[in-house]
Structure 1
């Protein structure tokens, strides 16, 4: 961009070390800032908000599904905006929208009552519609755009060390996501769900200023290249260095990437993770409550899951610079099978252990594949468009999960039956992944 440092007091050229490490830090915080728009951030609010609005679990889940599916239609477009305008402005806009959406969420009851009074009606469809709109806003800005922009920005600033850097980012993100239910539950217990959303909104507005100051789109804007090597001053030297890189790495367009099997297999396993993890997280209190566990025990399960996820992501991120990512695809499928079997047998101790191990593997490898695999397979030039399309798959998967889990429980009296569908899908992926190759 012509003015990559506009509105900022920080110039990457004046930093005494490679600015990519600041990008790594602030980009990781950016992913954490998306928590209020993620399922892990919404799930803690589910019971108090639905009760305050007078909605059933199925109605609240359906509102979540509709709002999230609607957001999926726009996420891929946001990826194109990322390629055109960069992470800085896209992430800033997403953060402001997410903060404003949380403020509206905090007065959802008042908005519903006002609409009912204005229309002189009294129906559950009004709060249902209000939550559909609000879920669209927080899911699009939080889960979709802010996460995609922050993660892609980090990947653009590194190449050879991309896996190692993502390992550091994953540590921060995993710890933040795993502890967020406890933090949010503490806020709700002490301040109520309305004030808690308002506190989070203020934090996001403050962080949006940090985005303008510290987010930077790519190293080339400042005469740098990924990993911190300065580019030569003369055009002849630039061509000497960049020409071999062009021969080694091909930059796929979204259309070209979609012609490869790897794009679909990796996208589908990531979508499965989004589906299963979202459904589980959204109804975690109910899932464990159906087996006699308390709310405290249900929320605490995220701690061992995060420990496994953190260990897996750290190791696999480091190894990702050296081994085939197809191995990760199969390990992630194995994690899905383990988690599905664990949910099916949750009444037994084995089921709890299997569920924790499976979700840990899924979450750990998700952090690797969703960040490192795409630039490794398809290059950096069209990374926004490619990851934006993938994000739309994840958003759709996360949209339908809460409703399917809810209807499974209300119809059959158990969440276990969702595992049969999951195992069938994983069998399909196991066969389809055999022919996956790195298109580079």
Structure 2
């Protein structure tokens, strides 16, 4: 890159400490900035926005599904752009565009009514199409591109200490995501859903300026090495030989598919469970407060698991994590199947907590460790499309099991069979390095 400091007042070479720690701080903030495009950030707006648009809950949910699915087809391409232009410009573009998308969301009723007048119609299809396209935008720029570019940038600046650094980032992100619904709900109660989206948009515009100032693509652009130090002849000899897989080469390995599908399963199960959590527990005569209360122990278990396993990830074979995730998925599925019993609730909480904690480790640390850093954007972009597709179809499949088959627990037979396939198919997984 000709000028990695272009448009910035910050020179990493003149910072009195390793600049990777600045990358850790602002990269973690970048993941948090994606919250308005994540399910946890969108769900709080569901009731007021659907009512304002005149859509039913099913219509609003389907718009979210179609918008999310549409974004999945473009996320992989964004990964290629990450490899070409770097985290700095890709993250700036995604943060700025996410802010614009939120402004448009705040005007969705006005846009919908204007189109209705132009077409001389009162059909629900107009607001449905409008909000679907807006969901596509916030899911693509938020959940997809901004999250991927921020997380990948952190991993590019560390190697031997990648797990420890990801532990710090994961704790910060987990706490932020856990408290986000409370903060957003406070904004909506105080300012209304339109103003709330505008406030979040303003925050993203400010953050996009910080991206240009503090984001940096990789340490080599400044004569540095991952984890710190200066590039020289001696260190080059001591550096281990690492193969940088292209996306095509990565897709030819069993590890890519098994890890990718396992992460996608987590996205599927967690999204479906979260989307219907009140109804799931309500079907077993639990109250709304009891249903929401399960997220606290799940978060605690996830943070503990993530912290311990991130630190250990610098020293142990990541295949252990893959199988632990699959076993945790089995426990969560059994817990959902027997939710009417206390042990079922405990298994569900424990399984989701462990799976979620390891997801934060594997999705960040394993990809550069297995496939190198040079084409990390293309590889993680492809995997992100798996996750987005899984999160899009989950709410509908969970709903189908309840409305047609009579119980949410029936989804456990599907998830159990899929996990059994992954356990068998993962037996021969090995580190491609």
Q: Distance in 2 between matches of 1:410 and 1:204?
A: 39
Q: Name the structure 2 match of 1:183.
A: 183
Q: Name the structure 1 match of 2:53.
A: 53
Q: Distance in 2 between matches of 1:282 and 1:13?
A: 46
Q: Distance in 2 between matches of 1:205 and 1:296?
A: 36
Q: Name the structure 1 match of 2:148.
A: 148
Q: Name the structure 2 match of 1:346.
A: 339
Tell me if the contact between 1:57 and 1:406 (Cα under 8 Å) persists in the aligned partners: no
The alpha-carbon deviation at position 295 of structure 1 amounts to 4.4
The alpha-carbon deviation at position 292 of structure 1 amounts to 4.3
Evaluate the alpha carbon distance shift between residue 430 and residue 55 of structure 1 in structure 2; reply closer, same or farther with a 3 A threshold: same
CA RMSD of aligned residues (A): 1.6
**Deviation readout 1:345-398 (Å, 9 max, x if unpaired):** 333332322222111111101110011001110111111111111111111111
Q: Name the structure 1 match of 2:413.
A: 420
Evaluate the alpha carbon distance shift between residue 142 and residue 7 of structure 1 in structure 2; reply closer, same or farther with a 3 A threshold: same
Q: Name the structure 2 match of 1:212.
A: 212
1:250 aligns with 2:213: no
Q: Name the structure 2 match of 1:372.
A: 365
Q: Name the structure 1 match of 2:76.
A: 76
Match runs of 1:109-258 below 5 Å:
109-232=109-232, 237=233, 241-242=235-236, 245=239, 248-258=241-251
The alpha-carbon deviation at position 415 of structure 1 amounts to 2.2
Q: How many residues align?
A: 433
Q: Distance in 2 between matches of 1:183 and 1:413?
A: 35
Q: Distance in 2 between matches of 1:282 and 1:47?
A: 13
Q: Name the structure 1 match of 2:275.
A: 282
Q: Distance in 2 between matches of 1:315 and 1:379?
A: 23
TM-score between the two structures when normalised by the length of structure 1? 0.94
Tell me if the contact between 1:106 and 1:194 (Cα under 8 Å) persists in the aligned partners: yes
Q: Name the structure 2 match of 1:266.
A: 259
Tell me if the contact between 1:182 and 1:299 (Cα under 8 Å) persists in the aligned partners: no
Q: Distance in 2 between matches of 1:358 and 1:47?
A: 30
TM-score between the two structures when normalised by the length of structure 2? 0.96
More displaced, 98-107 or 163-172? 98-107
1:401 aligns with 2:394: yes
Evaluate the alpha carbon distance shift between residue 344 and residue 111 of structure 1 in structure 2; reply closer, same or farther with a 3 A threshold: farther
Evaluate the alpha carbon distance shift between residue 408 and residue 195 of structure 1 in structure 2; reply closer, same or farther with a 3 A threshold: farther
Where 1:90 maps in the other structure, the secondary structure is: helix
Q: Distance in 2 between matches of 1:191 and 1:296?
A: 25
1:34 aligns with 2:34: yes
Q: Distance in 1 between matches of 2:127 and 2:285?
A: 31
Tell me if the contact between 1:278 and 1:401 (Cα under 8 Å) persists in the aligned partners: yes
The alpha-carbon deviation at position 241 of structure 1 amounts to 3.5
Q: Name the structure 1 match of 2:85.
A: 85
